[in-house]
Amino acid sequence: MATSGRNEQRLPDRGVRQPGGEATIGVDKGYTEALTDSDGNYHGAGLGQLLTTESDRLKERNRRRARLRSVANTAAQRGNHAKADRIARNNLGAIKRDRQAGRHQARVRTEIFTAVHQVVDKAAVVVAEDLTKTLAGRKPLDRNTNRRLAAWTKGVTAQALKNVSERRGSALVHVNAAYTSQVCHRCGCLGRRAGDRLHCTSCRVVWQADVNAAINVLRRHGDPDITLHTPHFVVKQLVQARADRHRSRLPLPDSSPARRAESESSEALSNER
C-alpha cells in the first residue's frame, strides 16, 4: 500500500480509503485543538498539551545542554580533553535528541491527521485557509521554540488537509481568510477578541472565537466579492462596508453553534450593557 506520510500508516484503518461525507465544512486551525469546524466541533483536542509539553521539555533540555557545554569547555581549556570528549560523546550527542524529537513529531502528526479524518468523515468539501502560503515569508530557522513548533504544526496541518482529502475523494477549497477571526459571522461587524471569545459589540453576542472563524471561512467559499487573491486592504474595505450596511438592520435570532459561549459569558456581557 502506498502511503505518502511516514506516520499515516499507523492510523486506524477507519477512513484511510473510505470516501468522505456529504457536507461542506469550514475549518479553522487552532493551537489548543488541531481544527475547529463550522458545526462547532473540535478535533485533535490533545494538540495544545502535546505542544506545551514538548516546548517545556526542549527549553529544559537546552538549559541542561548549555550548562554541560560550558563544563566541557572549561575542562578543555584546563587541558582535560578526556573529560571534554566524554561529555561531548555521552551528553551532547544527537542520537537521543533526534529520537525524542521523532517520537514527538509522530504523536503530533497522528493527532492532526486523526483530526482531519474526523472532518473529512462528514465533508465532501472542506473549506480552509491556505496554510502553506502564510509560511512563505518566515525564516526557516526561528530560534523561538514556541514559534518554531507552531510553524511546523501549521505545515503538518496543511499537508494533512491536502493528503487526507485527496485520498478520500473530498475537495479541499482554499479561501481568503483575512478578517475571518475578527468579524462577527452574524452581523459582519468587527468584534473584540478576548482569549477564546469574540465579543460583538453590535449584536451584543459573545461567540466562541474559533467556531465563529470557521463559519466565516465556510462563507468565504462562494463569496462573490472576496476571492483567494483579493488583497488584504480590499477585504478590509468590503468587511467595513458590509458592517455599515448591516448596522441599520435589526439582528435576527440565531441558533448558531458558535453561540455556546454566550451563556458562560453573560456576566461579561451584562457589564458591557
Nearer to Zn ion, 154 or 220 (CB): 220
Q: Where are the alpha helices (DSSP H) in the chain?
A: 47-77, 81-91, 95-122, 145-168, 209-220, 232-247, 261-264, 266-272
Burial letters 91-105, b for 16+ CB under 10 A, else e: eeeeeeeeeeeeebb
User: Does residue 200 belong to the site contacting Zn ion (CB under 5 A)?
Assistant: yes
Using CB under 5 A as the binding criterion, the count of chain residues that bind Zn ion stands at 7
Q: How far apart are the first and last CA of the chain?
A: 60
Least distance to Zn ion from the beta carbon of 131, Å? Answer: 27
Contact 188, 246 (CB under 8 A): yes
Q: Which stretch binds Zn ion (CB under 5 A): 44-52, 134-142, 203-211, 217-225?
A: 203-211
Closest of 162, 135, 167, 263 to residue 208, by C-alpha:
263
Question: Which range touches Zn ion (CB under 5 A), out of 142-150, 175-183, 194-202, 256-264?
Answer: 194-202
- Name the residue nearer to Zn ion (CB basis): 203 or 235: 203
CB 174 within 8 Å of CB 231: no
Of 30-38, 138-146, 195-203, 216-224, the segment contacting Zn ion by CB under 5 A is: 195-203
- Cβ-closest residue to Zn ion? 184
Choosing from 202, 230, 240, 265, the residue that interacts with Zn ion (CB under 5 A) is: 202
Measure the CA–CA gap between 47 and 30, rounded to whole angstroms. Answer: 9
Q: Do the Cβ atoms of 145 and 55 come closer than 8 Å?
A: yes
> According to the binding rule CB under 5 A, does residue 119 interact with Zn ion?
no
211 — phi, psi (to 5°)? -65, -45
CB atoms within 10 A of CB 131: 20
Asked whether position 211 contacts Zn ion by CB under 5 A, the answer is: no
Q: At its nearest, how many Å lie between Zn ion and the CB of residue 185? A: 8
Binders of Zn ion among residues 152 to 191 (CB under 5 A) are: 184, 186-187, 189
Distance CA 123, CA 257 (A): 17
Among 109-117, 193-201, 225-233, 235-243, which window interacts with Zn ion (CB under 5 A)? 193-201
Among 203, 206, 215, 239, binds Zn ion (CB under 5 A): 203
Specify the residue, 162 or 197, whose C-beta has the smaller distance to Zn ion.
197
Task: Note the residues at the interface with Zn ion (CB under 5 A).
Answer: 184, 186-187, 189, 200, 202-203
